[in-house]
Amino acid sequence: MTKDIGWNVDTSYARLPQSFYSKQDPTPVKAPKLIRLNKTVAEDLGLDQNSLQSEEGIAILAGNTVPDGATSLAQAYAGHQFGHFNMLGDGRAVLISEHKTPKGERVDVQLKGSGRTRYSRGGDGRAALGPMLREYIISEAMHALGIPTTRSLAVVTTGEDIIRETDLPGAILTRIASSHIRVGTFQYAAQFTEVEELRALADYTIKRHYPEVENEEKPYFSLLQEVINRQAALIAKWQMVGFIHGVMNTDNMTISGETIDYGPCAFMNTYDPEAVFSSIDRQGRYAYGNQPYIGGWNLARFAESLIPLLHEDQDQAVEIAQSAISEYSSIYHEHWLSGMRSKLGLFNEEEGDKALAEELLSIMHKQKADFTNTFQSLTRGTDLPNSPEFQQWKERWEERQSRQSESKEASHELMRKSNPVVIPRNHRVEEALEAAVEGDLSVMERLLDVLADPYNDSDKKAKYCELPPDSSVPYKTYCGT
């Protein structure tokens, strides 16, 4: 049966020291029903769609059976949640298996919402349909936007209600990730295991994600540098599309550089560096404009956890860690500036580019301009908000564009590829989720269809570019639901 689906199982994570996981099967559910299968992802993984949609396939996606030969486990990790260190771990997820794709890539297949584990603390180990579809929609949108992310293979309902403020339909998301190793996994190793176990984790991570540094003289230092670079690049990409992760705790930051854990995330409409949507982020720790700083803070926690591996002398190890971390800010800004140049259709580099980009953002902030639509207007050459400041800025920008050898057409094409027409606007996501939870999947299907091709304009996209009707109640997203 498993053979028909095409699972190619091998859980290398289970060969790490025992302290990193506990064997755990998903808890069976009453009446699994497939709500959504991601055919593109299934195909990329080399999985057979028809078999996945069969009763046996759905039983695996619901956790009622595990693929033949799979070692299902819950991972141990720790993490700083809103700045406070906690022991965590997969409390409502299990890694049912790793899978090797036809291209030879190894990915994690994780069920989220699959029941209690030894890391569940007070939680029920379950997830509700709305939030699982939300992760599905946003992760797939992020992928289509060209941003590294975990993917969503399927969502099933369990036929069981879960108890939150009200009873909600229970659901399970099958998440595909290049791995689930987090900054928090290293924090766990540094805090709760022996140095040899930390080393085993670092070696495993290098082999899996950064094999190019394996034979370097200082592989652990190189690992640190590589992770800093990938995370700096990732966060700059978020900033380019107005994505607010919402809960950038260290356990929600991957070592692979993929975006993970779409809880209270949202896309910004009006440009505002202080934009925050999460109901639990009262201090604005994870506000849009603070994400790059928090990225650095989290990476400093990663660097700290590597200290025992960086040098046998602790003072020197600290210095080495600091030297890598001190590079983060400039690496991030390079990624940011390069992204902004593309958004503005600039190929070459001039000293004034940073100021030009920042000035645009500052005008947008003052004018409460929509982030995505403003860059669309610039791309299309249509009307900008009618203000003298915008017009003056536009003249400077056009002058700047004329100082490059590339043609206007090439510049336009660069902008077209760098500025999405559609993003998953919060009101459209909510509308799709509300309908889906009521049993009507068509609104979500249409939304997913549009989000799968965000950089090309078409008539059907027009309504997805509109802003939400004015509301006096600010949009809020909820965590852990």
Give the residues lining the site for ligand AMP (CB under 6 A): 88-92, 120, 123-126, 247, 251-252, 261, 263, 479-480
**Looking at beta carbons only, is 25 or 261 nearer to ligand AMP?**
261
DSSP labels, 137-183? HHHHHHHHTT--B-EEEEEEEEEEEEESSSEEEEEEEEEEES---BH
**Looking at beta carbons only, is 183 or 206 nearer to ligand AMP?**
183
Q: Smallest distance from the beta carbon of 440 to Mg ion, in angstroms?
A: 30
Q: Smallest distance from the beta carbon of 307 to Mg ion, in angstroms?
A: 24
Cα dist from 253 to 162, 183, 200, whole Å = 27, 6, 20
**Looking at beta carbons only, is 226 or 261 nearer to Mg ion?**
261
Q: Smallest distance from the beta carbon of 244 to ligand AMP, in angstroms?
A: 15
**Looking at beta carbons only, is 82 or 464 nearer to ligand AMP?**
82
Binder among 97, 252, 411, 477 for Mg ion (CB under 5 A): 252
When CB distances are held under 5 to 8 angstroms depending on the partner's kind, the choice from ligand AMP, Mg ion, none that residue 28 binds is: none
Distance between CA atoms of 9 and 47, rounded to whole angstroms? 12
State the CB neighbour count (10 A cutoff) for residue 402. Answer: 9
Set 90, 108, 251, 370: catalytic member: 251
Burial 347-362 (b: 16+ CB within 10 A, else e): eeeeeebeebbebbbe
Distance between CA atoms of 324 and 304, rounded to whole angstroms? 11
- Helix%, strand%, coil% for the chain, nearest 5: 50, 15, 35
Q: Smallest distance from the beta carbon of 115 to ligand AMP, in angstroms?
A: 9
When CB distances are held under 5 to 8 angstroms depending on the partner's kind, the choice from Mg ion, ligand AMP, none that residue 420 binds is: none
Q: In the complex, which residue's CB is closest to ligand AMP? A: 123
**Looking at beta carbons only, is 24 or 252 nearer to Mg ion?**
252
Candidate segments 207-215, 232-240, 251-259, 399-407, binder of Mg ion by CB under 5 A: 251-259
**Looking at beta carbons only, is 48 or 124 nearer to ligand AMP?**
124
Contact 347, 414 (CB under 8 A): yes
Rg (CA), the chain: 23
Count the residues of the shown chain that bind Mg ion, applying the rule CB under 5 A.
2
Taking the CA atoms of 222, 235, 333 and 349 in sequence, report the sign of the dihedral they define: positive
Instruction: Return the C-alpha torsion angle 463, 466, 470, 476, nearest 10.
Output: 90
SS (H, E, C) 171-202: EEEEEEECCCCEHHHHHHHHHHCCHHHHHHHH
Whether 272 is catalytic is: no
Q: The tokens 């095409």 sit on which residue?
A: 6
When CB distances are held under 5 to 8 angstroms depending on the partner's kind, the choice from Mg ion, ligand AMP, none that residue 125 binds is: ligand AMP
Q: Smallest distance from the beta carbon of 263 to ligand AMP, in angstroms?
A: 5
Candidate segments 258-266, 308-316, 330-338, 414-422, binder of Mg ion by CB under 5 A: 258-266
| 108 is an interface residue for Mg ion by CB under 5 A | no
Contact 279, 478 (CB under 8 A): yes
Q: Smallest distance from the beta carbon of 184 to ligand AMP, in angstroms?
A: 9
Contact 271, 360 (CB under 8 A): no
Q: Smallest distance from the beta carbon of 112 to ligand AMP, in angstroms?
A: 8
| 261 is an interface residue for Mg ion by CB under 5 A | yes
**Looking at beta carbons only, is 135 or 261 nearer to Mg ion?**
261
Residue type, 254: T
When CB distances are held under 5 to 8 angstroms depending on the partner's kind, the choice from ligand AMP, Mg ion, none that residue 159 binds is: none
Distance between CA atoms of 388 and 386, rounded to whole angstroms? 7
| 90 is an interface residue for Mg ion by CB under 5 A | no
Residues designated catalytic: 251
Q: Which residues bind Mg ion (CB under 5 A)?
A: 252, 261
